[in-house]
Amino acid sequence: DAGVIQSPRHEVTEMGQEVTLRCKPISGHNSLFWYRQTMMRGLELLIYFNNNVPIDDSGMPEDRFSAKMPNASFSTLKIQPSEPRDSAVYFCASSLYRIVGQEFETQYFGPGTRLLVL
Amino acid sequence: KNEVEQSPQNLTAQEGEFITINCSYSVGISALHWLQQHPGGGIVSLFMLSSGKKKHGRLIATINIQEKHSSLHITASHPRDSAVYICAAFLAGGTSYGKLTFGQGTILTVHP
């Protein structure tokens, strides 16, 4: 398997523009996580999905951020409109959540998307 | 005060030494996650545990639910272990796993 795939790897945009980040999880995984990492705030969980359903989006900063998972093999994180303070590295990770035992297995992280909003 | 605290923040060791990184949390959790981030930025999940101990190669993670404490041990450390180690706790909540809260990370440098 190719692992978790994220695109683009780098994105430079101007304030006010819409940004869409994409993630393809590992085949067979039923949970998907979006993280953001900045120097100031460290690593933060934005939202996670279980079987394509958002479970906890309490980490989503504000209404400018939205995430979707239309099917088991694709998710998007959208920022509209983007602001300079959104500049960060955005990671996607996937995992297998076992209902029996209610346990996540190891998360596999994508390489991240480095976003710069000017 | 953060809900998840790591110590030490910086750790320097000589190759071969036994290393311990600690993580304490002040709230109820459903699981604890140890992550490793290399200087290039890539993140690797090391362990997810909710009780007891897990071992993978030279890495061992333990958790004591009563004491609200987890440790990550590295035996026979090697320069390639140099990285930032992050613990993260899934806070017990209404959903099956609740909100994930991160420690500030421990920067480990292992010298040859």
pLDDT of residue B96 exceeding 50, the answer is no
Map residue A46 onto helix, strand or coil.
strand
Chain-chain contact of B50 with A111 (C-beta, under 8 angstroms): no
- Number of neighbouring beta carbons within 10 Å of residue B64: 12
- pLDDT score, position B78: 96
The C-alpha atoms of residue B59 and residue B45 are separated, in whole angstroms, by 12
How would you write B51-103 as a 3-class SS string?
CEEEEECCEEEEEECCCCEEEEEECCCCHHHCEEEEEEEEECCCCCCCCEEEC
Beta bridge partners of B49: B32
What six digits make up the tokens of B56? 């993978």
pLDDT of residue B61 exceeding 60, the answer is yes
> Which residues 70-89 in chain B show a CB within 8 A of chain A?
86, 88
Q: Which of A76-90, B31-45, B93-107 has the lowest mean pLDDT?
A: B93-107
Strand-strand pairing, A65-71 and A74-79: antiparallel
A41-88 confidence digits (pLDDT tens): 888 889 999 899 998 888 888 889 999 999 999 999 999 999 999 999
Most confident of A60-64, A96-100, B12-16: B12-16
Residue A86 in contact with residue A34, Cβ under 8 Å?
Answer: no
Name chain A contacts of B102, Cβ cutoff 8 Å. Answer: 42-45
